[in-house]
Structure 1
Amino acid sequence: MRWAIPLILITSFNVSASVTDKEQDNWAVENRLFVGEETSVGIVASKQIFGLDWHLGGYVPLDNRIDFDSSFDYGVAKHFEINKTLGFSLGLGALDDHMYTDYQLNARVNRIVTLQTGYRFHLDDDFINQNEIYLGMRFELGEQNEIVPPPEPAPTKPNAPQYLPVYYNDTFYFDSSEYKVSYTSGLEVLADKVKDAREIEVNVTGYADSSGVRSKNQTLSKRRAQSVADVLVGSGIDVESITIEGRGIQSPVASNDTPEGRAKNRRVDVQVRGKIESSPELETK
């Protein structure tokens, strides 16, 4: 076996500017100087088609040996990227009817200069330089059409929660002179609906009928309001959002002259205002 170390000097002139995200369609002219046991020069034209580098050119010996004649150099290679700097290619070609395989490793220095090293094996045993190890450098002097990948889609931001205004109004009644709530289920349901509301305001106002001493009715009405507020706090409503007031016999909703009317006046009104996310399951009363 004979070995040769070719120095490849390549100048690439860009002729076409058709660029896609998968392939760059370029023409190149490559000047080659092979220095080894048998010195020769070569020049080929290459073009990238369907992701493959196709080349056609000539291979000329400098010493004019009879058994080492000029040849046509033609072939195809596939390039693979290791990263943005390193790559390698696998090729198959021929000098006239002398077939060879080519294995190349390249390192890009910048947009113009690429360093190369490789191994070429000629399949014919009678070829003078059957095994060739080469070092080289590629100069791309024409306009460079870099393949620009499509931009990354902008990250989607989650939609900001929508808050709707909430207004809830309910009344709770008391038997005789009692000030404690006799049933709490209605208050617990109300608290469960509004406890997660934002900017919540809860007004709890107690009332009494006109029976008995006026001053005691005032105290009784406030105790009733406090009793309702305690149930709301125990069900998850922030105590800081609750305002308590006792109004005694003020603002009657019915006549105090009948038992039925007085029963309607022994009451606590609860008003809730705030903002709740999405559609609230609240009824305005």
Structure 2
Amino acid sequence: MNIKQMSFYPSVASIISLSLLMSPQVNAAAENAGEFYLGAKTGWSNFDFGQNDGDIDDDAWAGSVYGGYQFNEWFSLEGGYNYLGNSKEHVAGSEVNKTQIQNGELGAKLDWNLTSAWNLFGKVGTSYNYVDQKTGAYNDSDENWSLMLGAGVEYQLSHNWRVRTEYQWFDNVGESSTTGKTDVNYVSLGLSYYFGSSDSAAPVAAAATTAAVVAAQEPEPEPAVVEEPLPAATLSKGAFEHNSVELTSDAKSSLDPVVTYLEQRPEINVAVIGYTDSTGAAEYNQKLSEKRAQKAADYLTENGIDESRINVEGKGEENPIADNSTAEGREQNRRIEITYQD
């Protein structure tokens, strides 16, 4: 049979090139780095056969299962199985030809985080195709390797769940000598599950460690003062939304004892220092740590503490308190530390 090939190189290649160029600069800390994932998707496939003597139905339902490993914030290795459906040809109302395509794929997935929840990705790799064709009473089948390109968008529903919509293009599926060759276009909607901890525990709040002691000999005790924790507060898990500089309500509650102490001790100043984990560009992390520290300082001034008493500093990736190679460690390193100064 004659096969008319459809080329989508320009559009797909431009998206993948954009992902390659932008990923290392744009991505902040990725929650799912170092995690395996599994998913399933379903959608529509298209084969462009070129016969002119029959009624060709070259659109079909397709479905897939896939899985992979997220090495860091921008690179994953992903493989899967695709059932791409059947193309059917009819002559005078009777089916004279049916071609079914299945394949397995393996490729690199390159991510670019648009926001804290939306993610653009490109894929490049190969597929091993199995083509089964029935023409009248005869059956032909063949197997071959193809180039695979893809692009799509993901939305993070939670730490463990992502929904994706995706386009893939498989080049020259089949062999000319038997079933013929065709490009296959595949558009799908899928759901992925990541096997990792959500780390959604409440932030570490500032806690009192000692009580003020008053002289036992005095008939009337002095009013108790708010104790001085060292450090005054460490805001870590849950202090900020993912890739955000906005304080959560729990983080603000953790700062209230600091406000009370500074109100009772007007001669005391405070240092507010921001940190990040080591994921992403150092320059980006430095700016992110400064912005988060400033948000904590702004909360103190909004509650009556003079800004002249507050020293704000961002230290980026410096001084980690946990292992950056794990999701739990990275969560602890994304923190704000507050200490008192005479």
> Is TM more than 0.5 here?
no
TM-score where L is the length of structure 2: 0.33
When the two structures are superposed, what TM-score results if normalisation uses the length of structure 1? Answer: 0.38
Q: Which has the higher helix share?
A: 2
